[in-house]
Structure 1
């Protein structure tokens, strides 16, 4: 394959698809890999997104995995590196550990021998904006959006400068909305000023896609960019690439349809309710029954077997924050999450073995578990369903040699009717 121009490292699987989606919409040919590949891809692409499952692991392990991904991307000739994290800027939070976004950023900067980078999770298409360094989800501060109750990565502070400064030894600064409004030259001047002041990482305000498109040219030649997926819309022109519908073409869809969901986000709760209200078959799995030794996966597959012949089915563990905390109190936070992920992943594999070839997976950690259970190593990125969520195409040993259409949906993304809309789009 030819040398790639943009090498990306994502800290979870749905986030990787989110980033790849924005790059494809901007005209790049993109492949998403599951973990660090063993060798060259053997395909002509402009960008590769290496998907890691490092968002909620110990910082030292996240750093090691990210550096391994960097080494592989450098070996493919990547001209710029993009470290992608969630648009809610959350990562490992336990005891004295305050997150791994900062440690990974520091390690990548040192490996790339660069003294400056930017940081912004802004993604206006999904109502994630940054103003005066504060992250908003819709019209409210992040810590008032429901993210303060996240079972694994609660976000109780919306001030990104403060949050990031607690995670890094480098000085953190701000490129505010007034600078952004004045365009590339002003942004570059502010970067020069911050570097002179000893700032190593600058949080960037962004209120709209226009801000991100003004930011893009100012990042040309920067060895490392750290961001959510929004910044991606302004980078392809730096490499002489323009939008093209051919970048998102996938093989024709066929086979049965299903949804599995392990997300507890407010958005996914609404999507589950919408699916049920539409009269479609849905089965809730109970974590305490899994813990009691019941083969919940086998039960779910037996329930789904006759129903998937008639249309899409949903298997979910989605619940509100109080229900999640109750289960965590009995089983422990990590064990409760891992147990549910393993069960949903086993159900996903069983559904594919039974003929499902169009599969929607909701939840970042759930997506990681499902992709690994399906032994998927690469995803070809296709058309967008909703902002940040594309259909993909992959090969899995569970699919009997056939291709599998797959979408990995971040818990917070998608319209209320996302599950139904996704399948309609493939017809």
Structure 2
């Protein structure tokens, strides 16, 4: 509780203390509940805090299923087992909800859906629970609520903001619209989802803006809030000079392995069947990675001033070759037992074009600790509930995996409270 409260304090985002209590209480039961989804399930548990320097970080843990398949697909396997096998609940696929059905007397009474090309009005017996995810693939909503352009996505292309539109029509109050889990990533031609840029084992690279200048300690950009390092808007030139930005490597970096190793999970890998190679050669051949024999020629390929990029790389190399081996701009260390920096000296040289790429959005309908959707005056909208990243508990400083836990906790709460509602005729 201390750790999560501090994330809200540092980000100046609105925190609902009752939601925090419900979330923390739910965390104490989540691992046991996950185990109940399958017989003989095996969980891995480890300590994990995205911001280890924040007070209370030592209390945070990560839990997930062991198995040949990991991440999202493995979690979905457990959900499907619980729904379809253990309980024999019918699931309608390819049946998107379009609008909520409401009456002045009963509030939300059902939903209009589209199934097999036909519109159907589906009556709810006790309540409607919205679990549609966010708006990562809805450009209009992103443009209106978030800074940074262009902004692509890593996650499910089904997250197109439908739930946000439905609850808005029902009169929901909105919150946390600036909240994003948005790593940096790479657009892959011919594919819908992007590739995350998370070169954990690489130390010989820098990020530069469109003028060829570094702008951050590249190794201290927390993965889930990568967008905060690039959504700076230049008021004089009227542009985002870091969108896109460029990751610069040399041949030594290429020999170390993948410039952008693939997630263990994600839409690009598991649905579009695309993985970044260890050699980087297919990505070079496809033009995803630009290469040139010199820094000056590489600068021309990515359209940044050659003299600036050359000066940036020279300063980087000079700093790392100095007696202390420290990068004078942002403090990366090129010497000692655990260096996190290495010179860019051995040609050819390589560049990746980097964008903000949404993993999930947090904004949407405000809700209470019972998972009831609230209107703009913080009053419950009758028979309407929400769970997951739509109207998330989290603000824009996001603890990795926090939305998965949130979906479990508030999905459970929403189901229990909706089931207590009195059916209407």
Q: TM-score range by the shorter chain?
A: under 0.3
The two structures have a TM-score, normalised by structure 2, of 0.24
Between Structure 1 and Structure 2, whose CA radius of gyration is higher? 2
Structure with the higher helix share, 1 or 2: 1
User: Structure 1-normalised TM-score?
Assistant: 0.24
Larger RCO: 1 or 2 (CA < 8 Å, sep 6+): 2
